Structure 1
Amino acid sequence: MNQEFKKYQAQTSPHPLGLEISHAKGSYIYDIENNAHLDFVAGVSATPLGHNHPKVIEAIKTQLNKYMHVMVYGEYVQKPAVELAKLLAENLPEPLEQTYLTNSGTEAIEGALKLAKRATGRSEIISAKNAYHGNTMGSMSVMGYEERKQAFRPLLPNVKFITFNNFEDLTNITTKTAAVILETIQGGAGFIFPQKNYLEAVRKRCNEVDALLILDEIQPGFGRTGKLFGFQHYNCIPDILVTGKALGGGMPIGAFTASKALMVLLQENPKLGHITTFGGHPVIAASALATLKEITETNLIYKTLEKEKLFRKLLVHPLIQEIRGKGLMLALIMENADITNQLILRCKDQCLILFWLLFEPKAVRITPPLTITVQEIEQGCQLILSVLNQIKS
């Protein structure tokens, strides 16, 4: 199967990890030899309730028995999508009240950028250096990492970049700016958090020049940082909120949420301002609804902060320079990229799943399911320390 995987399925890198999957449950992924791999990555933050959570599976099966795709997005009233959008609105501050459901986070970014241009009549977009918002042409245009973009130019014009947490750069936001798009927490850059009320200052500057603020919560959203959304740690409410990953509970989804006054602009001049065939798919919406209910109706969000403390207590080692992040969005920063690579690959051989970040070669991603147990954390951390001791020696 591994040979056929490389022969028939397009690859994203020369050396994929190549783990052949049999099944997955809870915090574990099982290979075809039935080895249990403890998952400290959660599909890159996309399975917040672990694998095959019973409530999510039941919601999917129930919807499957009713109907799957029946009509392109926005024409028919489909209960799972309506209830999901309603529950999102109930858990978001004003004026974030209407949600457009998409197939992925990057598609939601595209929709948010279009909405900002439509609402302001302006074309300039400001993003951050080392930002990552997805890999379609519009999303790549606001990626702040030239090495990943240069082979695909020309991209969208009128995109400018500022440095995250740099207050002097905020003067670049002017009356020509349609929107500022930022990750609430920079993911690919190494889990960089806003400092000294930075997001509040960005919000204030956008208000001064009537530009919109788009916050990308595709990674930190849905409980991972100890609040339902990362921006809730800061005094900053976006005009457009973009989500994805964890919302689907393991199914593909994205969403952008704004006020009704903004969202109505996609209905006319022109009509069908943003369209998609499978966005809001009833089976995926059912999975997302079950996931969001479980996250908001239990103590999982609160528990993430306790689990963060445990990770920080256990992962003390001379080769770990720092632990960045909050809740269960953590990154180990090693002395150099070679140690990072050795740690990830050696842990893989010992059935612990770790992963890289996009732009910070010294970082090791730790973003396990929110449902991970204390015992599983202790087990995984013990293995990490054991591997680091082997590397050090």
Structure 2
Amino acid sequence: MNQDFFKYQAQTTAFASGFQVEKAVGSYIYGKDGKKYLDFVAGVSANTLGHSHPKVVAAIKEQADRYLHVMVYGEYAQEKPVALCKLLAEATPEPLEVTYLVNSGAEAIDGALKLAKRYTGREEIISMKDSYHGNTHGALSVSGNEVHKREFRPLLPMVNFIRFNDESEFYKITEKTACVIAETVQGAAGFLMPDQDYFKNLKKRCEEVGALLILDEIQPGFGRTGKLFSFEHFGTVPDILVMGKGMGGGVPVGAFMSSEKIMNSLSHSPKLGHITTFGGNPLIAAASLATLNEVLTSGLMEEMERKELLFRQLLVHPKIKNINGKGLMLAVNLGEPEFTLNVAKKCMDKGLIVFWQLYKNEYMRISPPLTISDDEIREGCQIILDSLNEM
């Protein structure tokens, strides 16, 4: 199978592992090599409830027995997509009330940018240096790492950048600005957290000049930092909320959410301001609804602070410089990119899956399922420590 994988499936790096998967259950992925691997990555924050969670699988099977795709987005009222949008409205603060379901986080970013430009009638977009929002042309345009962008230019015009968590650059947000877009936790840069009042003051500046605030919660949502969305830690509410990854429990999905007044601007002048064939797919919505219900009712979010503390207590080693992040979004600084990659390989050999941050390869990514147990945390951390001792 590996030979066919490298021959027929498009590759994005020259060093893909080609690890062959047999099955995945709970916190473990089982390889065709007969071994099991503890998963500290969760599909890059996508498998919120672990692998093959019974409630998610049951929801998919139940919906599959009823119907799959029946019509393009927004035409037919289908039970699971409607229920998902309603529950999201109930679980988020005002004025967030209307959700547009799409196929990925990157598409949700593109839709949110279009919405902001359409509603405000403005063209300038301001994003953050070192941000990552996805790889479609729109999402790449507002991502803040030139190395990943330069070969694909020209991208969207009138996109400018300010430093994350630096209020001295707020003056660049003006009456020409349609929106400011930011990750609530900067992911690819190493799970960087802002100061407590940063987003509150950013929202105030946006309101002063009539710009909209878009917050990217593709990685922190659903529940990874101890709140359903990370912005809830900071005492402010975005004008447009973007989500993806973990909201599907392991299936491809994204969404952007806003007030009815703002979202309604996509319905006219022109009509069909954003359109998608498979957005709001009932099978995907069923999985996402099951995931959201479980996160809201299981008490998992209340465990995030304790699990984070356990990781921080266990991961103490001379070769660990610091640990960024919150909840189960942790980035372990090992000093040098090559060293971090070698540690990740050694962990894999020992039965633990870890990864690295896209921009800052010196940071080892730890983003396990929210359902991970204390014993599994201890097991994985011991493998990391043993690997460091052998390096």
* TM-score normalised by L of structure 1: 0.99
2:351 paired with 1:351: yes
Q: Shift of the alpha carbon at 1:131?
A: 0.5
Q: What residue number does 1:179 align with?
A: 179
2:363 paired with 1:363: yes
Superposed CA RMSD = 0.6
- Describe the superposition over 1:223-253 as per-residue Cα deviations: whole angstroms up to 9, x where unpaired: 1001111000002110000000000000000
Q: Shift of the alpha carbon at 1:33?
A: 2.3
Q: What residue number does 1:15 align with?
A: 15
Supply the distance in 2 between the matched residues of 1:117 and 1:186 (Cα, whole angstroms): 23
Q: What residue number does 2:234 align with?
A: 234
Task: Read off the aligned partner of 2:369 and give its amino acid letter.
Answer: P
Q: Shift of the alpha carbon at 1:305?
A: 1.1
Unaligned runs of 5+ residues in structure 1 are none
Q: What residue number does 1:278 align with?
A: 278
Q: What residue number does 1:84 align with?
A: 84
Supply the distance in 1 between the matched residues of 2:41 and 2:263 (Cα, whole angstroms): 34
Q: What residue number does 2:257 align with?
A: 257
Supply the distance in 2 between the matched residues of 1:210 and 1:71 (Cα, whole angstroms): 37
Supply the distance in 2 between the matched residues of 1:338 and 1:125 (Cα, whole angstroms): 35
Q: What residue number does 1:341 align with?
A: 341
Judge conservation of contact 2:196–2:234 (CA < 8 Å) in 1. Answer: no
SS at the partner of 2:241?
A: strand
Unaligned runs of 5+ residues in structure 2 are none
Q: Shift of the alpha carbon at 1:18?
A: 1.2
The ranges of structure 1 where at least 4 consecutive aligned residues each deviate by more than 3 angstroms after the TM superposition are none
Supply the distance in 2 between the matched residues of 1:229 and 1:167 (Cα, whole angstroms): 23
Q: What residue number does 2:199 align with?
A: 199
Q: Shift of the alpha carbon at 1:338?
A: 2.3
Supply the distance in 2 between the matched residues of 1:199 and 1:77 (Cα, whole angstroms): 36
Q: What residue number does 1:36 align with?
A: 36
- Describe the superposition over 1:319-362 as per-residue Cα deviations: whole angstroms up to 9, x where unpaired: 00011111100010112112211111111111100001111121
* TM-score normalised by L of structure 2: 0.99
Supply the distance in 2 between the matched residues of 1:291 and 1:301 (Cα, whole angstroms): 13
Aligned ranges for residues 110-125 of structure 1 at < 5 Å? 110-125=110-125
Supply the distance in 1 between the matched residues of 2:382 and 2:61 (Cα, whole angstroms): 38
Q: Shift of the alpha carbon at 1:196?
A: 4.5
Q: What residue number does 2:70 align with?
A: 70
Supply the distance in 2 between the matched residues of 1:337 and 1:64 (Cα, whole angstroms): 44
SS at the partner of 1:320?
A: coil
Q: What residue number does 1:126 align with?
A: 126
Supply the distance in 1 between the matched residues of 2:96 and 2:200 (Cα, whole angstroms): 17
Supply the distance in 2 between the matched residues of 1:82 and 1:226 (Cα, whole angstroms): 26
Q: Shift of the alpha carbon at 1:66?
A: 0.2
Supply the distance in 1 between the matched residues of 2:87 and 2:354 (Cα, whole angstroms): 32
Task: Read off the aligned partner of 1:223 and give its amino acid letter.
Answer: G
Equivalent residues, number: 391
Supply the distance in 2 between the matched residues of 1:292 and 1:163 (Cα, whole angstroms): 33
Judge conservation of contact 2:189–2:359 (CA < 8 Å) in 1. Answer: yes
Judge conservation of contact 2:335–2:363 (CA < 8 Å) in 1. Answer: no
Aligned ranges for residues 381-392 of structure 1 at < 5 Å? 381-391=381-391
